[in-house]
Every structure is written in C-alpha cells, then in structure tokens.
Structure 1
Amino acid sequence: MMIAPFFSIDPATRRVSLDSSDPAFYGNPNEVYKALHCHCPTFYWEQQKQWFFTGYDHVNGLLRDRRFGRQILHIATREELGLAEPEQHLANFDLAERYSLLELEPPEHTRLRTLVNRAFVSRHVEKMKPELAELANKLIDGFKDKGEVELLSAFADIIPVTMIARMIGIREEMGPQLLAWSHAYIRMYLFGRTREDEDGAERAASDFSDYVKTVIAERRANPRDDLLTHMIHTEHKGQYLTDAELVSTTIVLLNAGHEATVHQIGNSVRVILESGCDPAELFKDEAATECTVEETLRICAPVHIFQRWALEPVEIDGISFKRGDKVSLILAAANLDPARFTDPLSFRPDRNEAPNLSFGAGIHFCIGAPLARLELNVVLPILFERLPGLKLAKTPSVKDVYHFHGLDALNLAW
C-alpha cells in the first residue's frame, strides 16, 4: 500500500518502507504516525531493520518492562550476541557514554540516579522560577523594539543551556561552546549517520570530557553550592562517583538538560501560533498554562525514539524477540494514539485524557522533566505577554534530524 512516494505499508506482514531522510516525513511526521496507527501500529521498518511500536499502551508498557533494558552487555558478551567490537575511532565517545544515566541499568543506574535526583525534584527546581523569569525578560528586552526576531538563536537556545549550566556549576559564558559540543555529540544517535558525523561526535566528546575534568578539579579544590560539587562530595552506601562517572553524568545532564527544551520552546510557539488560539486564554492562569504546555508536549514532542534491548526471550503484540534483539519505541507517535486521544492531531489544551509520554516512563523517565516543564511554564507566558500580536514571519523549517524534532529557525514578527 503506497501512502506517499517515501512511505509504503504492507499491513498483512506489518512491513513498512519509510525514508526518514525525506523532508515530507521529518517535516510533518504526525501524518505518518496517523497512517501507522490506522494500518499497523506495530511494524517492521525495512530501512532500520528493526521492530517499532507506536501504540500508547505498548510504548508505555515497554518503557516500564524490566524484560527490556537500555543496555545488554551487563548480562551477555559481544561474542554471544554477535555484536561487532567497538570502533576505535569512537573511543572517546564510548568512554563518555560508558556511565551515562540514559544507558545504564540497575544497580549502577540506581546509584547514579540517587546521587543526582535530589537536585531535580520539583521543590528544588521551583526555586529557579524567579531567575528563569528574569533571564526570559532580559532576552526579550534585547529584541522587543525591533519588531522581529529569530527566536531560536535569540531566546530558545540561550535559556535552557544557561539554566542547566548554572545548576551544575559551569560558567554561563561557556553556553555557546556547550551548544556546539552538544549538537555534534547527538549526531551519533541519528539514522544514517556518516563518518563525518562520527568524527565530529568523537572530537566533541574528547573536548567536552577534558573541559568537564578541569571543572571537577576546580570543585574538588574549591567546593560550591552547585550540583557538580554535590555529586563529587556525596556518597551513596559508602561509595563516591568516580571521575569517569562524574564526566559521563555531567555530559548527559548538560546535553539532555537543554537540547530537547530548545526544540520544545520552538515547537510550542509554532503550534500555538498555527492553532489560532488566543494566547491570553491559553496562559490566563497557572492551570491553563500547564494544560497548554502539556498539550504542546503531546502533539510535537522533541524526542521521538527510544530504543530497548530484549534481556530475555519475550513476545509482544504477537512478535517474538530473543535476548539481544533491539526494539524501538516512538514516543511522539504514542502521544497521537487515537485509542487514547480524541482527534489526536488537533491542538486541544482542554484535554483530560492520558498523560503524554514525551519524557518517557519507568526508571529512565527523564530526570530533567521538572526543570524542562518549569522552563516552558515560565517562559512561554512571558513571551506571549511581552510580544502581543506575535505571528510567524515565514513558514518555519524543520531540522533534518528525525530523532530530535525541532526547527532550524523560527522567524517571528509583532
């Protein structure tokens, strides 16, 4: 069944051919997800050679299912699984990822997350609201009188990286360099990545790690009231984080702490402006603002795919997996499941349906979710209040990066 030139489905075999590099797909993936929900929400993606799940209940369940994990080599060898040896030209990237919270399973994951988690709980994050509002207003002051702005570079790029840098204890002026490292680093997660992508990620991992090591040394010599000092000096069951663990954890917090939120600020503003809804109503009070933010997270999630390894033989939705098989969960598609959401492709902030899965679920639920939600709930109302008559100056272009759904630019006028 040919749906579009870049997309075909065989419902009988649940085989799908889909070119993720086609702008017609990554520019508007929701239409593809709608077709997948209609014909085969669980499917084998021919180009990726892997099974994918889009149904809300399956994605939500698999995120929590301990028969699946983010890593596999803690229970099996590469030889047993038929996996290739690590690439030598990615040695620094692999080292930086070795103790990533995103990749570990218990008990290592439990120990690392316990040491970091208290800094990200809502009551601690909530204290950042005044400085977050101050930063948003200061940035708007810089472009308000111009009548136009490219919002990502002047606003969305700056706020999340500044806040996570402050939280960890890294100098704010490092923001542009942190963004550059992060952009290069995450290209390792893309479909069809090139050797150029890999070499760029390797350089970024090496330079990023070297920089973090210098900050760790500074904090050991001169402790401060920041997250890095806390991670260095706090023990869990008699153990402290090693330098390698500190580097991995700091890098993942910096990357995850801003990359998705940058995209989501842009995505949210675009969705609100295209919806025709009155911003004064959407942000009339805290409750309305929260509903608006959650609906933008549902309909245009910044992170689309999370992968899992089968840790044992298991059958899901009639598909048998053996230990070492990899499956993919499309969070953004689960948010559009018509079995859970009425008229799922419509922006409706008054929904009272299932919670969105944009931050994941289970033990790997995004540790930065309270911070990301606070940033969105604070800066979006300020932006629309300070710039009445805000409108799109030109049609936004979407980044050619499927995994991380965001805009290349968002040109606005008022």
Structure 2
Amino acid sequence: MSNLPDFLRIDSETRRVFLDGRNPAFYSDPNRVYALLHEHCPTFYWEEQRQWFFTGYDHVNALLRDRRFGRQILHIASREELGLPAPQPHLENFDLAERYSLLELEPPEHTRLRTLVNRAFVSRHIERLRPEIAELAEKLIDGFEKDGGTELLSSFADIIPVTMIARMIGIPDEMGPQLLAWSHAYVGMYMFKRTAEDEDAADRAAKKFADYVKDLIAERRRSPREDLLTHMIHTEHKGQYLTDDELVSTTIVLLNAGHEATVHQIGNSVRVILDGGLPPSELFRDDAATERTVEETLRICAPVHIFQRWALEDAEIDDLTFKRGDKVSLILAAANLDPKKFSDPRTFKPDRQEAPNLSFGAGIHFCIGAPLARLELNTVLPILFRRLPGMRIAKTPVVKDVYHFHGLERLDLSW
C-alpha cells in the first residue's frame, strides 16, 4: 500500500498489522494511523501486541456494553485452565493495589463497590465544586499572567485535577506533588513495551501509595470528616462495608483516574483549540458552546486510547471467533474518528451534530469520574482563554512516550 508511512504495514487480506507503538512517528500523531486503519483494516491483529483490536465505532461501542466480555477473567476460570502465567513476585504490591480496582472487577463485586462510590460522582454533587475549580484556576493564572508565558502543564494542568480529587477524598493539597509522582510511576504499568525498571517503579509507588492510604483510613476511623474516604469507610451496601484492601484499591484508582487523564486532556484541548484557528470568544461564548467545544476536543484527542476486555464466553464478532479467555482491545480514540460516524473526522469542528464520543467508555465500566472531568474542562478552559486572549503556542509541543495514554511532555505558551 503506497500511502502508508514506513513504520506501518497492513495486510488487509489477513487483517494483520505491523506497528511499533513506541515509535514517535506513531504516538505523536496516532490519528493519522487510525485514519489509515479505518481505510484499510478497521478490525486487525496487531502483531507486536499479539491481540485483536477494534477501531470501528459500532464495534467498540457494542463491545464496551457486551456482557460476554469483561474486565476480569479469573472470577470464572483459573490461571491453569487459561494457560496464564503465575503472578510475578516483583509486582506483588502493584497486584495487591489493583486487586479490588473498580476498573478491573466484574459484577457482583463491581456493582457493590461502584454503588458505594457512585453517589459522590453524580452530576448534581459534582456541580457544587464549580466555584472551587474556578477559584483555583483564577489563582493559578494570577501567578503567571504577568510573565507573558508559561509551561501550562506544570503551572496549571497538573495542579487542578489532582487538587480537586484529593480534596474530594480528603487528602491535603500539599500532597499533590507526591500523588502525581506516585501516579506517574503507577500508570507506567499500562504502557506498551514497559521495561523492568517501569515495573519496579510501579511496584514501589504502589507500596508507598497503599501505605499512605492505610494511614489515612486509620485516621478517618478515629476522626471522621465530611469527605469521600469517610463516606466509603462508613457506608454499607446490603449489610457489607468495604474492607481495608478494597478501600486502598478504590482510593488509588480514584486518585489516578481522577486526575491523570484530565491533566492530559487540558493540555490536548488547549493545543487543539490553538491549532484549530477558531476564535475562542466564539468557542466559549456561552455554556452550550463551551460544552460542544469540550466534547469535540475529547473526540479528536482523547487522553486514554485503549481498553481491553476478556471474552467470558465464546463469541463471534466481525467474522472472528473468540474463545473464553481470549483478550481483545478496543481503541476508543480511533472509534471517535470513524468516517462512518463523523464527517471529516480529523478536523476540529465543535458544531458537529453527530455521534457522542466514546472517550469515557460505555456500559457498566463507563468512567465514574466523567462528570468531574467534564466539569473541570468546562470550567477551566473558558477561564484560561478569557484571561489570556493573546495566548499562542511558543514551541512545538512534544507528545509523551506513554501510549496508550495520549498527552504532552510540555505545552509552552506565550501571550
């Protein structure tokens, strides 16, 4: 195929794709590759990952909701039965922290955990945080406005999501930098071709993170407060309370998911808006316009690109047969660019009246923090562009080598 870049090979007949996920030419502009996959091979076997991947909107949307596929498999089959390797001793702390993660469980455990946490994240509760988010954004901009420029991730994007989720849980603001450091090390486990050093760093971070949360749990048991951690400790569901291990896993996943993706998305959104050339005064002219703008940035530059699912039973999808225990991957960010659903999909068009983006997933694992992330984006982006109307990109941004996340190393701006 003559129109393919030299780092990509596609065999449409066998649906085989050769692509190095750590190649900067790919992760710097994955949308270009997704467009080629939609053109030649929307469902494909990624040779380097040894797994089937789906990029079509309808397939991804359906698989996210398909109860024949789940986030875990060991609740219905043993490692021996599935031919899976034994747990690795050097990841003992990470595995323990993940054991009761909302992201990894299936019903009935998932239902119980999610029910206990969900109340704090429904839109009517989250909406009360708008003035606090706005105040924090204004204060941060006060700190760098006079400088005529800033590196936006470290001065703004890193701070707001971690501060807000930490305050909700009941963790002091000054822990923000440490939480960021633990989280960055922790999510290294989800990168393609992670190294032994990445794994050791993730395990160390999981141990320190868990120890900190355990101390916090003990403190809240002694002196309850009006925060999410106290709520999780003292709320029951059908006569059951969360165990300490469940509390640790849930707190860690809420902290990681509650800021990691939103940090990326603030940077991605600002870059897309500035590159798009549309006047910010129009994009943010009222709440409805702001919401459309935010949803379009989520569509075109999602912060999390892939979710995996286990086949819980035999199933046939797109003329492929999957057996129980097979793993498949869904590229949410590619589904958001499906030309069958979106006209001119790689163009930033906030006035679209097309399909909803899949950036927060769908089904029972739809992102519990979506209302918070949306509120943060809908609050801070209009403030940023109103306060700094002459804002422009000062240096070409570099995309982080953290695929399947998508975010910038830094975003240097001037005005």
**Same fold (TM > 0.5):** yes
Q: Once the 2 structures are TM-superposed, how far is the Cα of residue 23 of structure 1 from its aligned partner?
A: 0.6
For 2:392 and 2:93, the matched residues in 1 are separated by 44
**Aligned equivalent of 1:52:** 53
For 1:171 and 1:401, the matched residues in 2 are separated by 28
**Aligned equivalent of 2:330:** 329
For 2:58 and 2:101, the matched residues in 1 are separated by 27
For 1:278 and 1:301, the matched residues in 2 are separated by 22
**Aligned equivalent of 1:157:** 158
For 1:400 and 1:193, the matched residues in 2 are separated by 11
Question: Pairwise mapping of residues 215-364 of structure 1 onto structure 2 (< 5 A)?
Answer: 215-364=216-365
For 1:388 and 1:343, the matched residues in 2 are separated by 28
SS in 2 for 1:342: coil
**Aligned equivalent of 1:109:** 110
**Aligned equivalent of 2:91:** 90
Identity %: 79
Q: Structure 1: which 4+ aligned runs deviate by more than 2 Å?
A: none
For 1:45 and 1:201, the matched residues in 2 are separated by 26
Q: Once the 2 structures are TM-superposed, how far is the Cα of residue 388 of structure 1 from its aligned partner?
A: 1.0
* 2:76 equivalent to 1:75: yes
* Paired amino acid for 1:78: R
SS in 2 for 1:159: helix
For 1:371 and 1:218, the matched residues in 2 are separated by 26
For 1:177 and 1:331, the matched residues in 2 are separated by 30
For 2:24 and 2:276, the matched residues in 1 are separated by 22
Question: Pairwise mapping of residues 375-394 of structure 1 onto structure 2 (< 5 A)?
Answer: 375-394=376-395
Q: Once the 2 structures are TM-superposed, how far is the Cα of residue 402 of structure 1 from its aligned partner?
A: 1.0
Unaligned runs of at least 5 residues, structure 2: none
For 1:19 and 1:234, the matched residues in 2 are separated by 46
Q: Deviations over 1:178-234 (max 9, x none)?
A: 000000000001111110000000000000000000000110000000000000000
**Aligned equivalent of 2:197:** 196
**Aligned equivalent of 1:405:** 406
SS in 2 for 1:162: helix
For 1:372 and 1:353, the matched residues in 2 are separated by 21
For 1:261 and 1:306, the matched residues in 2 are separated by 17
For 1:53 and 1:228, the matched residues in 2 are separated by 37
SS in 1 for 2:401: coil
Q: Once the 2 structures are TM-superposed, how far is the Cα of residue 269 of structure 1 from its aligned partner?
A: 0.1
For 1:88 and 1:76, the matched residues in 2 are separated by 21
For 1:5 and 1:183, the matched residues in 2 are separated by 31
Q: Once the 2 structures are TM-superposed, how far is the Cα of residue 380 of structure 1 from its aligned partner?
A: 0.1
**Taking structure 2 as the reference length, what is the TM-score of the superposition?**
0.99
**Aligned equivalent of 2:19:** 18
Q: Once the 2 structures are TM-superposed, how far is the Cα of residue 412 of structure 1 from its aligned partner?
A: 0.2
Q: Once the 2 structures are TM-superposed, how far is the Cα of residue 262 of structure 1 from its aligned partner?
A: 0.0
Question: Pairwise mapping of residues 120-159 of structure 1 onto structure 2 (< 5 A)?
Answer: 120-159=121-160
For 2:236 and 2:109, the matched residues in 1 are separated by 14
* Paired amino acid for 2:236: E
For 1:340 and 1:283, the matched residues in 2 are separated by 25
**Taking structure 1 as the reference length, what is the TM-score of the superposition?**
1.00
* Paired amino acid for 1:74: H
Q: Deviations over 1:17-72 (max 9, x none)?
A: 00111111000000000000001100000000000000000000000000000000
* Paired amino acid for 2:239: G
For 1:153 and 1:38, the matched residues in 2 are separated by 38
For 2:219 and 2:22, the matched residues in 1 are separated by 43
For 2:25 and 2:88, the matched residues in 1 are separated by 33
Q: Deviations over 1:130-151 (max 9, x none)?
A: 0000000000000000000000
* Paired amino acid for 1:387: L
For 1:172 and 1:51, the matched residues in 2 are separated by 42
Question: Pairwise mapping of residues 162-173 of structure 1 onto structure 2 (< 5 A)?
Answer: 162-173=163-174
RMSD: 0.5
Q: Once the 2 structures are TM-superposed, how far is the Cα of residue 5 of structure 1 from its aligned partner?
A: 1.6
Question: Pairwise mapping of residues 25-44 of structure 1 onto structure 2 (< 5 A)?
Answer: 25-44=26-45
* Paired amino acid for 2:73: I
Q: Deviations over 1:259-290 (max 9, x none)?
A: 00000000000000000010000000000000
SS in 1 for 2:316: strand
For 1:189 and 1:324, the matched residues in 2 are separated by 20
For 2:175 and 2:298, the matched residues in 1 are separated by 28
**Aligned equivalent of 1:100:** 101
Q: Once the 2 structures are TM-superposed, how far is the Cα of residue 4 of structure 1 from its aligned partner?
A: 1.5
For 2:324 and 2:218, the matched residues in 1 are separated by 41
Q: Once the 2 structures are TM-superposed, how far is the Cα of residue 300 of structure 1 from its aligned partner?
A: 0.1
* Paired amino acid for 1:263: H
SS in 1 for 2:344: coil
SS in 2 for 1:33: helix
SS in 1 for 2:252: helix
Count matched residues: 414
SS in 2 for 1:228: helix
Unaligned runs of at least 5 residues, structure 1: none
